Amino acid sequence: MVFKKETIIKTLPPIIGFGIGGALWGWSLYVGIPETSYPLTIPGAIFLGFFGGLGLSIYSKDIKKILKSCGLGLVGCLIGVFIAFLGTIHLPPIGGVILSLFFPQRLPDYLIEFFDLMSGVGTLSILYYWPNFAISGIFIGLFFSFGRSKILPMVWRGGVGFGLAAIISPLFGNLLGNLFNSLFFSYLITFSLIGVIFSLFLLWGISKSK
């Protein structure tokens, strides 16, 4: 497949924007802003919403579009995080039941160790809250879809992308963090990847919303 130069130029800013937002989200959790084992925080929503919105719109070079995109990102992320927080008691067990359908029998030791790497970073639980990420992603995708001809493509891709990112990103974050013997690096890689994966799904949704 041959990628056009213009397509690459338009795609990179959102990936970088969400990646930076994710890295700052990871930094805030590492330094304890706030001190919690729950990953979907207000500082994280602010970082991801602002830099993600900036990345999605900066190519336009239109200050009104940029401010609108950053505003929608901030509001969407904050509302998504708030609504996901309301399900902190009920959603994780449902997510556990869904995952158990793929592994109905007792897991061998090597898979248990594998899932330990996927479960979270440091004292932070991430995999446990993947349904909360999915719910939050639905609302973020909804807000970023405002002003587009179609809403649904970004809504469901936002939910799937954010939920999937929460499942697979801790694995790579922990592997690379352990390689460099750095918990801080694990946080940065994990949440940068969450942002990057989420951006790819949103870009996919945008391509289907035109």
H or E, element range at 170: helix 152-179
As a whole number of angstroms, the distance between CA 131 and CA 91 comes to 6
Q: Are 45 and 81 in contact (CB under 8 A)?
A: yes
Tokens coding 141: 């995708």
Facing residues of 120 across strands? 125
Tokens coding 189: 């890689």
Mean pLDDT of the chain: 89
Facing residues of 124 across strands? 121
Tokens coding 51: 């830099």
Q: What is the pLDDT of residues 14-59, one digit of tens each?
A: 999 999 999 999 999 999 999 999 999 999 999 999 999 999 999 8
Global pTM?
0.90
Q: What is the pLDDT of residues 133-167, one digit of tens each?
A: 999 999 999 999 998 889 999 999 999 999 999 99
The CA-based dihedral angle spanning residues 43, 70, 159, 30, taken in that order and rounded to the nearest 10 degrees: -20
The type of residue at 6 is E
Determine the structural domain holding residue 74 and report its residue range.
Answer: 5-207
Number of domains in the chain: 1
Tokens coding 168: 């697979």
